[in-house]
Structure 1
Amino acid sequence: MRAAASVPRATSGYDGGKKVPGRKRHIVVDSLGLPLAVVVTAAPVTDRDAARTLLARLRERFWRLTRVWADGGYTGRLAHVAASAWRIALMVVKRSNDTTGFVVPPKRWLVERTFAWRMRSRRLARDYEARTDTAETMILWSMTMVMSRRLTGRRC
């Protein structure tokens, strides 16, 4: 008997030559690690394509934002597009060549910490949602619980 897949076939595909059933989550956080914008895409969508949607949402909601730090997956012409279309300076944080082992690049730990907080929500441990917009809502809902716990003084 075969287990049912939790991710619909329409949102699975290839990423980097490997078959990847699932989704990619792209998120912009503030300096506290709280989400400003979230985009969930199918696995075959490139980071740069998803970033265009993410930056457009970010500019729509936070029109005074001028600088965003990004992972190395967001390199290329995206920095020029961000500057010309949305007046956002996209600063790509790359890994240093002289580091050995696992080292989180500067600024990247903010996003990694947010993803760790998100994984505390049992619902987000797997892809239960059939639609990407519902998955985005679940991420924001999970972070709302983190923020409300902070307001009440409870530990996350």
Structure 2
Amino acid sequence: MPADLPPWQTVYWHFARWEDAGVTEKLLTALRIKARTAQGREPEPSAGVLDRQSVKGADTVGTDSRGYDASKKIDGRKRFIVTETAGLLIAVAVLAASWQDPDGGKTALLGMYLRSPVRHVFADQGFAGRFVDWARDTLKTTVEIVRKPADQQGFAVHPRRWVVEGTLARLTAHRRVARDYERHPEASEAVIRWAAINGMLGRITRGHPAQSQLRRTFAWI
């Protein structure tokens, strides 16, 4: 805990009270609406983008909520997020890294369903199959799988999915989100929402999404 903050017990007490009252959820919704309207868009989104990210878990992450992602070779947790098409966070679910993508995607999609009118979601091939049928039959939501072009070689940007990957990158730029330090997954979700709130405030202030700084060049005299 930084030295200029109160004792950690006091900070956590306020943190827990705010979460019990749903403060971060309300802030996230209000700021997302403000950011969208400031850009001349409708207050509520009509489409979303789903993705996941495996992150290492610190020693404070208990064995009851951590796992091993064999494909990424990461021991920790997996974050599933849904954003609108400009990268603003709608819903987040934090689970053990051993969870399969379709199973974790259900939790995130259900959170989106309860918090927004979005009923069309873009996702990558990891969510193809029965997950698409479940979303259609249970949530009346269409999941459109964004597949790689058959002739693609090497890396290529897919606009429909790049926004959510950019959001994950910006979230992990926050020190507390660079890895998972929280004992409980619910606390981890709250910290991610706070990081997203910080990003939305910056976007509203600037009037546009954050951009990478241009590399400076120096002329030697």
- Using the size of structure 2 for normalisation, the TM-score is 0.63
Deviation at 1:11, TM superposition (A): 2.8
Aligned twin of 1:60:
114
CA–CA separation in structure 2 for the residues paired with 1:77 and 1:121? 34
Q: Kindly indicate whether residue 175 of structure 2 is the aligned counterpart of residue 122 of structure 1.
A: yes
Render the CA deviation track for 1:88-146: whole Å, top value 9, x for unaligned.
Answer: 01001112231111223341101111011112211111211111111111111001011
Indicate which of 118, 134, 156 corresponds to 1:103: 156
Please give the root-mean-square deviation of Cα atoms over the aligned residues, in Å: 2.0
Q: Which secondary structure state, in structure 2, belongs to the residue aligned with residue 36 of structure 1?
A: strand
Question: In the alignment, is the contact (CA less than 8 A) between 1:39 and 1:53 conserved in 2?
Answer: yes
- What number of residue pairs does the alignment pair up? 152
Q: Which secondary structure state, in structure 2, belongs to the residue aligned with residue 22 of structure 1?
A: strand
Structure 2: runs of 5 or more not aligned: 1-57, 211-221
Deviation at 1:6, TM superposition (A): 4.9
- Bigger Rg, which one: 2
Indicate which of 77, 97, 108 corresponds to 1:43: 97
CA–CA separation in structure 2 for the residues paired with 1:150 and 1:96? 32
Q: Which secondary structure state, in structure 1, belongs to the residue aligned with residue 167 of structure 2?
A: helix
Q: Which secondary structure state, in structure 1, belongs to the residue aligned with residue 152 of structure 2?
A: coil
> What is the aligned-residue identity percentage?
38
Render the CA deviation track for 1:53-106: whole Å, top value 9, x for unaligned.
Answer: 1111111111x3221001211111111111111110100111223111122334
Structure 1: runs of 5 or more not aligned: none
Question: In the alignment, is the contact (CA less than 8 A) between 1:11 and 1:21 conserved in 2?
Answer: no
Indicate which of 176, 185, 193 corresponds to 1:140: 193
12 and 19 in structure 1: CA distance in 2 versus 1, 3 angstrom threshold: farther
22 and 141 in structure 1: CA distance in 2 versus 1, 3 angstrom threshold: same
Deviation at 1:19, TM superposition (A): 5.8
Deviation at 1:153, TM superposition (A): 2.6
Taking the TM superposition and a 5 Å limit, the aligned residue runs for 1:5-84 are 5-16=59-70, 20-62=74-116, 64-84=117-137
Question: In the alignment, is the contact (CA less than 8 A) between 1:13 and 1:19 conserved in 2?
Answer: no
Question: In the alignment, is the contact (CA less than 8 A) between 1:75 and 1:92 conserved in 2?
Answer: yes
